[in-house]
Amino acid sequence: MFDKDAAVAPEEPADKLYNEGLYLLNTKKDAKAAAKKFEEVDRQHPYSEWARKALIMSAFAYYEGNAYEDCISAARRYVTLHPGSPDAAYAQFLIGSSYFDQMPEISRDQERTEKAVQALEEVARKYPNSEYAVSAKRKIEIARDQLAGKEMDIGRQLLNTRNYTGAINRFKVVVTRYQRTRHVEEALLRLTETYMALGIVEEAQDLGRRAGPQFPG
């Protein structure tokens, strides 16, 4: 007996599905429904040019809908399948921006911040002439400042508990790895303070001499 529920739905034209996705995204402002429509283009018409366009649009739609993990998944797939496409830079930028938008406060684990830096550095490295490179670099600076802030936060806690060795290691990370962030001045001050607490006067004085010309204020 024929089961009508088991019948395969006929394929819809790729351009029709794609335009329905655009309508849902731009007119209805339903980003997640739009993303599903774009995914349907890929499912029904794989390997077509419409599928390629729909894949980057699904990543964008998920990003607009704050569905960051889905955005990252779609954008990564795009970069893997179409590394030479003009939209590959944007796909990589969406990956970094998705992690960037999820950066937690300083007191929390900074894994997403680190992933944001890594993904955005890929934009700057692989696509330096793209329109997204400047924005990627700006976000990298913000994310790196946050990572430096995390090191400072831990360093201060260690200093308060008189774990001087641990504190020195954290402050040194800021000075060496994040030297272009706003936390370097305090890191040098805290290092000097910690060395003095340990009685390592010569090292403290050397840091003071280094910090003076850099931060005369």
* Separation in Å, CA 163 to CA 159, 181, 198, 207, 216: 6, 24, 11, 20, 29
Establish if 24 belongs to a structural domain: yes
Establish if 90 belongs to a structural domain: no
Q: Tell me the pTM.
A: 0.88
The pLDDT of residue 201: 83
Length of the chain: 217
The pLDDT of residue 60: 98
Q: What share of the chain is helix, strand, coil (3-state, %, to 5)?
A: 75, 0, 25
Contact residues for 170 (Cβ-Cβ < 8 A; gap 6+): 151, 152, 154, 155, 158
The pLDDT of residue 14: 95
Establish if 17 belongs to a structural domain: yes
Establish if 6 belongs to a structural domain: no
The pLDDT of residue 30: 96
Angle formed by the axes of helices 164-177 and 133-160, nearest 10°? 160
List the structure tokens of 137: 């670099």
The pLDDT of residue 211: 63
The pLDDT of residue 202: 80
Rounded Cα distance, 79 and 81, in Å:
6
Number of domains in the chain: 1
Domain span holding position 45: 13-68
Task: Give the number of other CB atoms < 10 A from CB of residue 179.
Answer: 12
Establish if 54 belongs to a structural domain: yes
List the structure tokens of 120: 């955005």
Q: Mean pLDDT per 10-residue run, the chain (217 residues)? A: 49 94 96 96 95 98 97 98 96 98 96 98 96 97 98 97 96 95 94 90 76 56
Rounded Cα distance, 161 and 165, in Å:
11
Rounded Cα distance, 12 and 99, in Å:
34
Q: Which 3 state secondary structure label does DSSP give 66?
A: coil
* List of long-range contacts for 129-138, beta carbons under 8 Å, 24+ apart: 130/89, 130/90, 130/93, 131/89, 132/89, 132/90, 132/92, 132/93, 133/89, 135/93, 136/93, 136/96
The pLDDT of residue 205: 78
Establish if 41 belongs to a structural domain: yes
